[in-house]
Structure 1
C-alpha cells in the first residue's frame, strides 16, 4: 500500500494541516488541534503537509508544539513563495526569499531538517534555474531532503527537473478539479515524480455534509470561490447528492469514495485531505484500504468531472497565480 516520496515509503493518505490554523473559518480550540495532529500519528499518518502562509506561521508552530519529541515519526513538508505581508502580496520565489523562508521554517518547526520543501506557486519573475539552485544548495547543506513545486505547468516542471530532480509535484486534484489531467499527471508519471493531490475532497464539498455555503463564516476562503456561490452551488449540490448516494450504495463515505478515486489515478499519487473532525481523520486514513469496484469509481468519474461541475475553482484575482494548464 505504501507509496514513495524522496526515497521514503509513506502511507498514500497524508494530512493537510492548513485548516487547523487557517482558511476555512474559525479554527478549533488550540488544545483540540494539538490532540488532532497527535491522533493522526497514532492512527498511522506519516506525511504531514504545512506551509509558511498557513496562519502566517501559526500552523508550523502548532506542529512543532504538538509533536515535540515525535519528529522522527513523520515525513514533513512545508512551502514558501506566497507572500502576504501587509501591502506586499504576491508570489516571490527569489533565491533570497527561499533561503530566508527555509531558515524561518526550520526555526518555527523546531527541527534541523525538513523532508520536502515546495515552491507554493510559480514565479514568472525569477528564472527557474535560480530558484531551483537555491533549493539544491539547501539540499546539499542538509536542511531539506528534496524540493517540490505546487500548481506548476508541465513545461515548467520539466525545466525544473532538468536543473535538479523534482521531489514531488503538489496540485489540486479531485473529481471536480481535473486540470492536472491535461498534462501534469502524465508528466509526473513519465519523469517518475510523486504527485500529491491537495483538496482531494473538493474543499469539503464532496463530503456531502455542506448543504448551504451561505452559512459559512465570512473569512472562509470558499465564500469567494465560484463553485460555492448562489448561482453555481445548487447545480453542484445536485451532483454531490447523487455522488453521496453512490457512496452509500458502495458502503463507504462520500469522502472515502472521493479519496479512493484520486488514489486510483496512478501508483505515484498521494492525497493530503485536511480535517478538523477526529472521525473524518479516521475515515480518511482508511480510504486507501477500502474495497471499491472499478465500476463504482468509473461511475463517480462520470458523475462529477470538469464538464458537469458549475463554476471555476478560483475567483478572478487568484487565477493569474495558477500556472497549471487550464481547460479552454
Structure 2
C-alpha cells in the first residue's frame, strides 16, 4: 500500500486506516463476532492498513479490549489512536474534558489496550465547560509522560485547532468527512493541509450510503442506530440516489467499487489525509485497502467535488 506520514512529523502509515468502532458498537451490534474482528485487524496489518482508530466510549470499553487482544504480539506494527472525553453511561452521552479525568481515562485505555503508550491520544469532543487550553494542556502532559506520542482533536472548529496549537502541537484532526459530509472542507481541512496536520475522515463512506448496499431503511437491522439518522429515512435515501449514481458511474469507468472511488477522492484531498473506514468483513477490508491505489483523474475529482449537498442532516 502507498504510505504517507501522520502529519508532517508523524510516523509512517498506510493511506487507508481502519476504524474499529463498528466491530463492537453501534452498527448491527447483534452480529458482533470478536474472533472474526481480530482476524480482520490482523489482515489489515498484513495489507499495510497500519493506522488503527478506537475510543474508550465504543462499547463502552469493549472496543479497546478487542483491539488490545488483536494487537498482542503485534503492537509495534501499528500506529494506534484512541480517544477520551466522551462518556457513555446509564445517563446517556456526556462530555468530560477535565484534566484529571482525561489523565485517568488514558491510563484506563492503556490497560485495556495492553500497551504502555498510544501513538495518538485524541480529545473526542471539546467539553464546553472546560477551556480547550486546559484539556489540551493535560494531553500535553501525557505526551511528556510518554503515555502518548502525539495528541489530536476530534470534531472541532478551526478556532479550536488554533487555540490548542498555541499550547502544544496538534498532530491530527479527526472529523466525519465524505462525499456526503463536507463540513470540515471550508476551513479545517485547508488549515490542516497548510500546517501539515493529519486529517482523519471517519465515516468516509457516508455511514454506508456510499457503498451502494443500502437503498432503503429496511436494509438495516432493527437495532442499527443509523435508522434514527435523517439521511437514512426512505425519502432522503431516495433523494440522495443521484449522488450514489454518480459515484457508481466513475467506479464502472475504473472497474472498481463505489467505496473505492469514495475513498480515493478523500485521499486526493491532501498529502496527510488518511480515511479510516470501518468494517467487520474481510472482503470489504480488502476493497478499502485497495482504494489507496485507485487514481482518479482531475476531471473526475472535479465532478465529485461538484456533487450537491445531500438531503438530510448527518445526525
TM-score bracket for the superposition, by shorter chain length: over 0.9
Please list the CA deviations of residues 161-190 of structure 1 after superposition, one character each: whole Å capped at 9, or x if unmatched.
011011100001111111111211122123
State the 4+ residue runs in structure 1 displaced beyond 6 angstroms. none
Match of 1:320 in 2: none
Aligned to 1:41: 45
Separation in 1, partners of 2:99, 2:260 = 40
Show the counterpart of 1:222. 226
Extract unaligned runs of 5+ from structure 2.
Answer: none
Matched residue, 2:18:
15
User: Out of 34, 49, 56, which is 2:60 matched to?
Assistant: 56
Q: Is the CA contact (8 Å cut-off) linking 2:22 and 2:278 kept in structure 1? A: yes
Whole-angstrom CA distance in 2 between matches of 1:158 and 1:180: 15
Deviation at 1:46, TM superposition (A): 0.8
How far 1:88 sits from its partner (Å)? 5.4
Give a deviation string over 1:3-23, Cα, whole Å, max 9, x none: 212521111100001111111
Residue 232 of structure 1 aligns to a residue whose secondary structure is helix
SS in 2 for 1:204: helix
Q: Name the CA distance, whole Å, in 2 between partners of 1:189 and 1:43.
A: 26
When normalised by structure 1's length, the TM-score is 0.91
The answer for the alignment partner of 2:84 in structure 1 is: 80
Q: Among residues 63, 66, 69, which one is paired with 1:65 in the alignment?
A: 69
**2:156 & 2:282 partners in 1: Cα distance?**
32
* CA distance in structure 1 between the aligned counterparts of 2:299 and 2:92, rounded to whole angstroms: 49
- Report the Cα offset of residue 129 of structure 1: 1.5
Q: TM-score, normalised to structure 2's length? A: 0.95
Report the Cα offset of residue 87 of structure 1.
Answer: 1.4
Which runs of 5 or more residues in structure 1 are unaligned? 315-328
**Structure-to-structure mapping, 1:253-292, within 5 angstroms:** 253-292=257-296
The Cα offsets for residues 43-95 of structure 1, whole Å up to 9 and x where unpaired, read as 12111000001111111101111221110010000001111111153111111
Q: Tell me the C-alpha RMSD between the 2 structures.
A: 1.4
Q: Distance in 1 between matches of 2:300 and 2:46?
A: 31
Q: Is the 8 A contact 1:246 1:300 kept in 2?
A: no
Q: How many residues align?
A: 311
